[in-house]
């Protein structure tokens, strides 16, 4: 099955029109050389039912039945049915980039609404149409700060997701950028150290809110001091947490990015996800990525278009703000449908549920003998760290047998945290599941 | 249409969430809380559904309209792919789960999909390995040129900074090259639509990093010098990179690696029928020859001798992580379903019919518009308005807008840049002869109007809710966020 409509008769009619007597001769006329095309190892086609069955079987070889307390930047939230009902409208998902505004007002207006919602969540003034993921968005924000300041040093906290830091390191390799990593405190970002290392030669600091350990830190004073050095402050945020937390705009950040997976996207084994980026109006023309704007059309009505395209690769080529071409458009659509559906009240409610369930879970877990708090009185949203009396990697392996994905062992990325476990609790988790987690943890440690 | 924010009414709610079953206590001090809740829409579930359903109806998609957008390969996206991507066993899988039990024991099904797709692509395209990590075509380009940089560095040849790029290339090529620290140098296209070999020869020295060739090129033409170019670049110590945006013309007929390419990115959302999503998510896997394998991004999926799959991270020369995890998994999954469905025989039919359809259009329209070349094309053909049309004030843009009134999504226009007023048409293999004829007739009628009553076209489109938005105003006075 090739989903091809042409019949033998059609092909003959078309060849006749072209004036070449066979497909083979047509092919020869294209100038493509004959190759040694031994495809013997490739399978023949299967029917739709066979393909579905084969892949359904493979899907059952993944342990999705585990009760999930695993987060580390990617969270198991409730997704209202409305989201997939809209993203599976094929007028949306089988369209291309909205280069022809008359034939793409649906996509364009939805993205304008998405940009607006991102600004309302973050408190920032402008947002782009989305990027690949939270990590690449943070890298793009660093490059934007470098373009704006003309300085080539960046200071990043180790309390930023190690996954993001790896991406930033990878992309910076060939770009003559001086990247400094600042060791984290117990569960905080070590603000004084960030301020000390960020000198007048620094384009930006890069931090995360809440940080990778789940801690919520007040950045207001630090950002103020950073600004005195003509250095920009860039923050990667967890958008779900912004339902109740002080906004990054209120703390003075210049560029805000983040991973939008928590806004209505399934975990999908790593993608597609959604990077978002927001900034101040005055920095808008330095922002990378697609942007949708509202304007007027010939008959005087409102219309939406891709705008400020002079920043982009198809116009500016090697001097573009970034090489990025796509946005994660369908994911951005999912996010705006999620945010509309959950709405102002629902978003706050999700935030409160996450925060109170996480407190409940932490209290339950700290009652277990041998499990200790890493630092007292540090506020958190829906994720926290505890210290176990054993290696956390080994521990989570044992918890799998009990039916739980109990959290993320930090030792993989932080050598001095071998016994620390990062536990995420979303609104999906019930009191019963949380108690079950605590009981199983206790049983494993006995 | 009103914005969703303008439909909002205080305290209206559109979601049902579980009641709290724990004490309503959190750990966050007042000073770290928002003073005001985010001003998100307050609408009913029906409001949301109707709003976005109505917006969807203002879009053209492949499922609603013929969409011959050049170099974008807007082929049919099979529906079973969506069912498969929606399987709970795939879409609720946390990407860090492999790290909770050694080597990915908890995600064998997902790792099998990634591994088997990679192997299929290797065999189909002739490369020794693929990384599935890149999240889009341009992301694949960037990964590819970073591999070139790592390769030269390993040979202590970091002075190789010059990246040759034909003037017909997509803008992402020079932009990606710049992001990997290269200096892009433009090579002109000769009168036969091939890369100008004489100019290329001037760069064959110790500073040459490589060349980025789109094959077939953006004129829809197979560059007759492809093999020669690859070997000239190799002899000078450079590497040859293939931009696979136009791979739909070649699959199953030729393995690009055999032309001499060392690296190639492909677009699963073009050639392998995954949806474009209105501009993403895509997926841009990169294939490489053996000597570049050590530099591929981590992690790598491998198959053990006992038939199980696992993730491998220990590759000291790797360029590192270009994406957070293993790529856009659910897009890879759809492409795998497509490969399984078509098999090698089906894939051969794809390129043959894509080329046949494009040549049928080229032949049918060549006396009505000015073709960019007389050569037999591959999967797409490029025209310009005739000089009389231009004299009448009719440009590529006007022809595009007139097509919208015929219920057809316009071709790519004003690209490639080397053709003045380009109209780039890619029908794909999944369109029927009847659809092509409707398109051809529409183009003929527009051509006639362009010559005889141009005013009719200048006001197109008339059938859509908006007509020719003022893009200058949009850029001069940007309104990119709604403020009440």
Strand A372-373 vs strand A383-387: parallel, antiparallel, or unpaired?
antiparallel
| Yes or no, beta carbons of A109 and B55 under 8 Å apart | yes
User: Which tokens belong to A20?
Assistant: 């070449």
User: Which tokens belong to B419?
Assistant: 């053709």
Q: In whole numbers, what is the pLDDT of chain B averaged over residues?
A: 96
Q: Are residues A412 and A287 in the same domain?
A: no
Q: At B125, is the pLDDT very low, low, confident or very high (cuts 50, 70, 90)?
A: very high
Per-residue pLDDT, A441:
98
Please list the residue range(s) of chain B that carry CATH number 3.40.640.10: 83-341
Please report whether residue A3 resides in a domain: no
Which pTM does this prediction carry? 0.98
Q: By the 8 A CB rule, do A427 and A71 touch?
A: no
| Yes or no, beta carbons of A272 and B331 under 8 Å apart | yes
Across the strands, what pairs with A409?
Answer: A421
Across the strands, what pairs with B286?
Answer: B131, B265
- Mean pLDDT, residues A99-105: 97
Non-local (6+) Cβ contacts of B433 within 8 A are A5, A6, A10, A13, A14, B360
- Mean pLDDT, residues B236-263: 96
- Please tell me what DSSP assigns to residue B248: G
- Please tell me what DSSP assigns to residue A202: E
Q: Are residues A314 and A348 in the same domain?
A: no
Beta strands in B215-338 (DSSP E): 239-244, 263-266, 286-288, 300-303, 309-312
Q: Range of A412's domain?
A: 67-77+344-445
pLDDT digits (tens, 9 = 90+) for B171-192: 999 999 999 999 999 999 999 9
Q: What number of C-beta contacts closer than 8 Å exist between A and B?
A: 699
Q: Are residues A272 and A259 in the same domain?
A: yes
Q: By the 8 A CB rule, do A197 and A190 touch?
A: no
pLDDT digits (tens, 9 = 90+) for A279-338: 999 999 999 999 999 999 999 999 999 999 888 888 888 888 888 888 899 999 999 999
Per-residue pLDDT, A321:
83
- Mean pLDDT, residues A367-389: 97
CATH number at residue A428: 3.90.1150.10
Find the length of chain B.
Answer: 484
Of A154, A161, A165, A160, the C-alpha closest to A198 is: A154
> Within 13 Å of residue A411, how many CA atoms lie on the same side as its CB?
17
Please report whether residue A381 resides in a domain: yes
Question: Considering only CB atoms, which chain A residues are within 8 Å of B341?
Answer: 1, 45-48, 51
Q: Are residues A284 and A414 in the same domain?
A: no
> Could you give the C-alpha distances from B417 to A307, B188, B189, B217, in angstroms and in order?
20, 11, 11, 12
- Count of CB atoms within 10 A of residue B393's CB? 12
Please list the residue range(s) of chain B that carry CATH number 3.90.1150.10: 349-467
Q: By the 8 A CB rule, do B278 and A96 touch?
A: yes
Please report whether residue A217 resides in a domain: yes
Q: Are residues A223 and A245 in the same domain?
A: yes
- Mean pLDDT, residues B396-424: 97
Q: Does B397 lie at the interface with A, CB-CB under 8 angstroms? A: no
| Yes or no, beta carbons of B112 and A92 under 8 Å apart | no
Which helix (DSSP H) or strand (DSSP E) does residue A283 occupy?
Answer: none
Task: Report d(CA B267, CA B378) in Å as an integer.
Answer: 18
What fold is seen in the domain B349-467?
3.90.1150
In chain A, the number of structural domains is 3
Please report whether residue A1 resides in a domain: no
Q: Is A285 helix (H, G, I), strand (E, B) or coil?
A: helix
Q: By the 8 A CB rule, do B463 and B405 touch?
A: yes
pLDDT digits (tens, 9 = 90+) for A65-79: 999 999 999 999 999
- Count of CB atoms within 10 A of residue A218's CB? 15
| Yes or no, beta carbons of A101 and B5 under 8 Å apart | no
Strand A202-209 vs strand A153-157: parallel, antiparallel, or unpaired?
parallel
| Yes or no, beta carbons of B347 and A2 under 8 Å apart | yes
Q: SS in 3 state form for A73-133?
A: CCCCCCCCHHHHHHHCCHHHHCCCCCCCHHHEHHHHHHHHHHHHHHHHHHCCCEECCCECC
Task: Report d(CA B409, CA A94) in Å as an integer.
Answer: 12
pLDDT digits (tens, 9 = 90+) for B214-231: 999 999 999 999 999 999
| ipTM greater than 0.95 | yes
- Mean pLDDT, residues B32-58: 97
Please report whether residue A2 resides in a domain: no
**Res. A38: pLDDT tops 90:** no
**What is B99-153 written as a DSSP string?**
GGSGGGTTBHHHHHHHHHHHHHHHHHH--SEEE----SHHHHHHHHHHHHHHHHH
Q: By the 8 A CB rule, do B130 and B286 touch?
A: yes
Q: Which of B146, B150, B466 lies at the smallest CB-CB distance from A297? A: B466
Q: At B51, is the pLDDT very low, low, confident or very high (cuts 50, 70, 90)?
A: very high
Q: Are residues A25 and A152 in the same domain?
A: no
Which among A311, A337, A363 is the end of a domain?
Answer: A337
Non-local (6+) Cβ contacts of A148 within 8 A are A203, A232, A283, A286
Please report whether residue A411 resides in a domain: yes
Q: Does B467 lie at the interface with A, CB-CB under 8 angstroms? A: yes
Q: By the 8 A CB rule, do A39 and B346 touch?
A: no
Burial of B228 from C-beta contacts in 10 A (0-12 / 13-18 / 19+): middle
Which of A33-37, A306-310, B306-310, B350-354 is predicted least confidently?
A33-37
**What is B295-316 written as a DSSP string?**
GSPSPEEEE-TTS-EEEE---T
Q: Are residues A395 and A440 in the same domain?
A: yes
Question: Considering only CB atoms, which chain B residues are within 8 Å of A17?
Answer: 360, 363-364
Selected residue of B4, B25, B38, B326 to mutate for chain A interface (largest A Cβ count, 10 A): B38
Q: At A37, is the pLDDT very low, low, confident or very high (cuts 50, 70, 90)?
A: confident
CATH number at residue A303: 3.40.640.10
Q: Which residues of B26-48 are buried (b: 16+ CB within 10 A; e: fewer)?
A: bbbeeebebeeebebbbbbbebb
Q: Are residues A229 and A284 in the same domain?
A: yes
Per-residue pLDDT, A201:
97
pLDDT digits (tens, 9 = 90+) for A234-248: 999 999 999 999 999
Please report whether residue A216 resides in a domain: yes
Q: Are residues A352 and A318 in the same domain?
A: no
pLDDT digits (tens, 9 = 90+) for A253-285: 999 999 999 999 999 999 999 999 999 999 999
Selected residue of B24, B34, B40 to mutate for chain A interface (largest A Cβ count, 10 A): B40
Q: Are residues A92 and A197 in the same domain?
A: yes
**Res. A35: pLDDT tops 80:** no
Selected residue of A138, A173, A325 to mutate for chain B interface (largest B Cβ count, 10 A): A325
- Mean pLDDT, residues B286-297: 98
Across the strands, what pairs with A131?
Answer: A275
Q: Are residues A292 and A405 in the same domain?
A: no
Alpha-carbon Rg for chain B in angstroms:
25
Please report whether residue A99 resides in a domain: yes
Q: Which residues of A367-388 are buried (b: 16+ CB within 10 A; e: fewer)?
A: ebeebeebeeebbbbbbbbbbb
Question: Considering only CB atoms, which chain B residues are within 8 Å of A352?
Answer: 20, 24, 26
**Res. A183: pLDDT tops 90:** yes
Per-residue pLDDT, B436:
98
- Count of CB atoms within 10 A of residue A79's CB? 21
| Yes or no, beta carbons of A6 and B353 under 8 Å apart | yes
| Yes or no, beta carbons of B40 and A1 under 8 Å apart | no
**Res. A186: pLDDT tops 90:** yes
Question: Considering only CB atoms, which chain B residues are within 8 Å of A397?
Answer: 100-102
Question: Distance of alpha carbon B433 from its chain centroid, rounded?
Answer: 25
Q: Are residues A98 and A195 in the same domain?
A: yes
Q: Which of residues 200-259 of B touch A (CB under 8 A)?
A: 216, 221-222, 224, 227, 250, 252-255, 258-259
Per-residue pLDDT, A316:
84
| Yes or no, beta carbons of A29 and B464 under 8 Å apart | no
| Yes or no, beta carbons of A15 and B356 under 8 Å apart | yes
Per-residue pLDDT, A315:
81
CATH 3.40.640.10 fits B83-341, yes or no: yes
């Amino acid at each position: 099955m090739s989903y091809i409509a042409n019949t033998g008769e059609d092909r003959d009619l078309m060849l006749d029109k072209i004036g070449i007597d066979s497909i083979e001769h047509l092919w020869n006329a294209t100038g493509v050389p004959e190759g040694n095309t031994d495809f013997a190892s490739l399978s023949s086609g299967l029917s739709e039912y066979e393909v579905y069955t084969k892949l359904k079987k493979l899907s059952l070889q993944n342990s999705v039945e585990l009760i999930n307390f695993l987060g580390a930047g990617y969270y198991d939230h409730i997704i209202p049915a409305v989201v997939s009902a809209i993203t599976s409208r094929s007028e949306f998902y089988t369209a291309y980039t909205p280069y022809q505004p008359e034939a793409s007002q649906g996509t364009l207006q939805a993205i304008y609404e998405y940009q607006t919602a991102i600004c309302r969540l973050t408190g920032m003034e402008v947002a782009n149409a989305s990027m690949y993921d939270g990590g690449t968005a943070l890298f793009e924000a660093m490059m934007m700060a470098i373009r704006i300041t003309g300085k080539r040093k960046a200071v990043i906290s180790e309390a930023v997701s190690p996954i993001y830091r790896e991406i930033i390191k990878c992309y910076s390799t060939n770009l003559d950028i001086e990247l400094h990593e600042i060791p984290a405190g117990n569960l905080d970002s070590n603000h004084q150290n960030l301020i000390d290392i960020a000198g007048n030669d620094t384009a930006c600091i890069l931090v995360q809110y809440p940080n990778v350990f789940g801690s919520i830190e007040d950045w207001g004073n630090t950002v103020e001091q950073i600004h005195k050095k003509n250095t920009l402050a860039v923050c990667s945020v967890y958008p779900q947490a912004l339902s109740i937390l002080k906004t990054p705009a209120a703390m003075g950040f210049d560029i805000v990015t983040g991973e939008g997976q928590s806004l209505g996207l399934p975990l999908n084994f790593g993608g597609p996800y959604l990077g978002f980026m927001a900034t101040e109006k005055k920095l808008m023309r330095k922002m990378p990525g697609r942007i949708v704007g509202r304007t007027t059309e010939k008959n005087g009505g409102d219309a939406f278009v891709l705008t400020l395209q002079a920043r982009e690769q198809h116009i500016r080529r090697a001097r573009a703000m970034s090489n990025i071409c796509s946005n994660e458009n369908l994911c951005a659509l999912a996010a705006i449908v999620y945010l509309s559906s959950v709405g102002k009240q629902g978003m706050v409610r999700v935030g409160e549920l996450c925060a109170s369930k996480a407190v409940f879970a932490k209290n339950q877990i700290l009652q277990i003998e041998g499990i200790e708090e890493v630092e007292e009185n540090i506020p958190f949203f829906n994720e926290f760290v505890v210290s176990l009396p054993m290696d956390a990697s080994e521990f989570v392996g044992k918890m799998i047998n009990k039916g739980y994905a109990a959290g993320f062992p930090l030792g993989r990325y932080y050598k001095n945290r071998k016994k620390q476990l990062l536990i995420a609790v979303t609104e999906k988790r019930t009191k019963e599941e949380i108690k079950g987690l605590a009981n199983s943890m206790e049983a494993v440690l006995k | 249409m009103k914005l969703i924010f303008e439909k909002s009414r205080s305290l209206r709610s559109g979601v049902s969430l579980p009641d709290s079953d724990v004490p309503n206590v959190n750990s966050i001090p007042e000073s770290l809380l928002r003073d005001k809740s985010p001003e998100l829409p307050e609408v009913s579930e029906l409001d949301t559904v109707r709003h976005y359903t109505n917006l969807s109806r203002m879009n053209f998609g492949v499922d609603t309209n013929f969409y011959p957008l050049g170099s974008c390969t807007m082929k049919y996206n099979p529906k079973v792919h969506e069912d498969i991507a929606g399987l709970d066993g795939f879409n609720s899988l946390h990407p860090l789960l492999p790290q909770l039990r050694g080597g990915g024991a908890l995600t064998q099904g997902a790792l099998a999909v990634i591994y088997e797709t990679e192997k299929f692509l290797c065999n189909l395209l002739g490369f020794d390995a693929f990384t599935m990590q890149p999240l889009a075509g341009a992301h694949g380009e960037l990964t590819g040129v970073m591999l070139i940089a790592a390769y030269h560095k390993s040979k202590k040849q970091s002075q190789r900074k010059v990246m040759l790029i034909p003037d017909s290339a997509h803008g992402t090529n020079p932009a990606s090259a710049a992001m990997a620290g290269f200096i892009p140098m433009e090579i002109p296209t000769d009168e036969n639509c091939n890369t100008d070999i004489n100019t290329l020869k001037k760069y064959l020295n110790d500073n040459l990093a490589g060349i980025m060739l789109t094959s077939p090129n953006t004129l829809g033409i197979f560059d007759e010098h492809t093999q020669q170019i690859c070997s000239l670049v190799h002899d000078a110590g450079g590497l040859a990179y293939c931009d696979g945006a136009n791979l739909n013309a070649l699959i199953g007929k030729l393995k690009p690696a055999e032309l001499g390419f060392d690296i190639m990115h492909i677009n699963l959302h073009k050639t392998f029928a995954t949806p474009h999503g209105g501009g993403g998510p895509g997926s841009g896997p990169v294939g490489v020859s053996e000597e570049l394998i050590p530099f591929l991004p981590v992690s790598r999926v491998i198959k053990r001798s006992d038939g199980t799959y696992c993730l491998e991270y220990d590759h000291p020369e790797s360029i590192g992580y270009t994406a957070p995890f293993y790529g856009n998994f659910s897009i890879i999954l759809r492409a795998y379903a497509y490969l399984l469905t078509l098999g090698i025989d089906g894939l051969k039919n794809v390129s043959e019919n894509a080329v046949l359809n494009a040549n049928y259009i080229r032949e049918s329209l060549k006396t009505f518009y000015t073709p960019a070349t007389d050569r037999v094309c591959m999967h797409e053909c490029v025209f310009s308005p005739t000089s009389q049309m231009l004299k009448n004030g009719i440009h590529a843009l006007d022809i595009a807008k007139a097509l919208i009134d015929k219920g057809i999504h316009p071709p790519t226009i004003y690209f490639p840049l080397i053709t003045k007023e380009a109209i780039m048409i890619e029908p794909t293999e999944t369109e029927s002869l009847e659809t092509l004829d409707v398109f051809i007739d529409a183009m003929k009628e527009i051509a006639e109007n362009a010559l005889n009553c141009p005013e009719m076209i200048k006001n197109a489109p008339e059938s859509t809710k908006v007509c020719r938005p003022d893009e200058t105003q949009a850029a001069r006075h940007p309104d990119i966020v709604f403020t009440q």
